[in-house]
Structure 1
């Protein structure tokens, strides 16, 4: 199967080498790095960053991207804003060392509908866009249901507001579902031309509650979503969030990854 499949390592374990070993065993080619050894990738010492690279190279895998929590703060938090611009600078610096052309960013914690905050959000993004442009690294907004931009529709609205080639999309159908959007086709169709990376997790509503599910067992139409993505250059990165009855992250990730493979085989 000609798919670029990846897994976020800390969804398996904080023991980075063990996580990478599992990713290799499952058959994915890409490692997405967020938290490892109980710290965010932006907090690594130089020696730890070198060790991270060594481990990935040892198993013949590729780092797809580095995940900082940039702009997962309240929009009026001035101190936090300055700190997060520094976090953004750091993750861009590390990404460039790995020749990665983009990095993830969020859109501040949700406090109300986007239309009430879109001007302030655009203003807050100005400094981040300036940094991205000067460093030649694209910012990819992850649609996050706990932030102002949680759906494909909100992504489209915000991208049309700021109109810059330095901001694209990290599409997360699971987050869109939690934000009460039908991810495919509704959300996807609005932003498909701006996607640079994907996070995959499945979800459903059970007894009135949103819950994460193994990929292929939830309510998201992943068969058609993957069909629409066939032939694209994007890395499809598993971020399962689902936990089995034993609350075992590794076993849960294995279950979800096997769910992805099952769907992709049905397409071939």
Structure 2
């Protein structure tokens, strides 16, 4: 196996701001970057046409490209029908920004897809995602749902219910390992028609947990949310770890991506740790071993 995929880095994982983060991403050996585009200087409302051109030129000046933008708006995704109109419009503006900056992918969380396909929350999510799917499809673009909150086959069933693949998948193997205990390799094959972007991350699951305890859900209140949060942050339930130190079988996982013909980015995400730049540099080296 010899990977040919480009390597990306989430600039925000480095923790030094966008512009300095671009320099660091190039220094650690990335081909491209993913950037959060929800608030602050990257909020679409704060970037004029001239500002977008300047940022695109700056990224190119470092020899980089954008693998995707992150447009995660929080608040249980699209479960709340009263909040969805504003969220859908904001998501569209983030996609417009992505296209202006040279990528056609916006990654996001949509909330946990409920088991009850006839319930109000499922319908609210379906309605919002159908609108986003059509908008992205008409622009030749994708909203990419991050894996983890539900098992791959259940997510596939939800995606199959939409009229286009404008809402597709950002595959994160560590989220699956840590939260649902799903097998990332089986997940790749289940979601093969939808994977347009990936996060490279590793993790360990120590005990079973209701995904709602981790991601939250509309109308769901854990018995002791503070205790659950403490257990998550302390690593008592699961832990994100450097690549190769967790339970993601990268030999099989990368082989599966290659087998389905995935040619997109392998984008490194590091959400914990006090030396993110060092961890990300090591992650680039880890992936490069599969490209040698």
- TM, length-normalised to structure 2: 0.76
Q: Does 1:106 align with 2:133?
A: no
Return the offset for 1:112.
Answer: 5.3
- Provide the residue aligned with 1:259 in structure 2: 286
Whether the aligned pair in 2 keeps the contact of 1:200 and 1:236 (CA below 8 Å) is yes
- Provide the residue aligned with 2:253 in structure 1: 225
Whether the aligned pair in 2 keeps the contact of 1:215 and 1:240 (CA below 8 Å) is no
The Cα offsets for residues 197-238 of structure 1, whole Å up to 9 and x where unpaired, read as 101111013574201000111111112111222363111111
Return the offset for 1:144.
Answer: 4.2
Distance in 1 separating the partners of 2:138 and 2:183: 33
Return the offset for 1:28.
Answer: 1.5
Whether the aligned pair in 1 keeps the contact of 2:146 and 2:169 (CA below 8 Å) is yes
Length, aligned pairs only = 257
Assess, with a 3 A threshold, how the Cα gap between structure 1 residues 30 and 121 changes in structure 2: closer, same or farther.
same
Alignment of 1:1-268 (within 5 A): 2-34=4-36, 39-46=41-48, 48-70=51-73, 72-73=75-76, 75=78, 77-108=80-111, 110=112, 113=115, 115=117, 117-145=121-149, 150-206=150-206, 208-230=236-258, 232-243=262-273, 247-262=274-289, 264=290, 268=292
Return the offset for 1:196.
Answer: 0.7
Distance in 2 separating the partners of 1:73 and 1:98: 27
Whether the aligned pair in 1 keeps the contact of 2:176 and 2:184 (CA below 8 Å) is no
Return the offset for 1:20.
Answer: 1.5
Distance in 2 separating the partners of 1:37 and 1:165: 27
Return the offset for 1:74.
Answer: 5.5
Assess, with a 3 A threshold, how the Cα gap between structure 1 residues 86 and 163 changes in structure 2: closer, same or farther.
closer
Distance in 2 separating the partners of 1:193 and 1:201: 22
Distance in 2 separating the partners of 1:205 and 1:58: 41
Q: Which moved more, 1:74-83 or 1:22-31?
A: 74-83
The Cα offsets for residues 16-48 of structure 1, whole Å up to 9 and x where unpaired, read as 232112221222211111159955443532254
Q: Which moved more, 1:31-40 or 1:169-178?
A: 31-40
Distance in 1 separating the partners of 2:98 and 2:37: 15
Identify unmatched segments of 5+ residues in structure 1: none
Identify unmatched segments of 5+ residues in structure 2: 207-234
Distance in 2 separating the partners of 1:217 and 1:256: 11
Whether the aligned pair in 2 keeps the contact of 1:15 and 1:36 (CA below 8 Å) is no
Q: Which moved more, 1:134-143 or 1:234-243?
A: 134-143
CA RMSD, Structure 1 to Structure 2 (Å): 2.8
Distance in 2 separating the partners of 1:10 and 1:239: 9
Moved over 6 A (4+): none
- TM, length-normalised to structure 1: 0.82
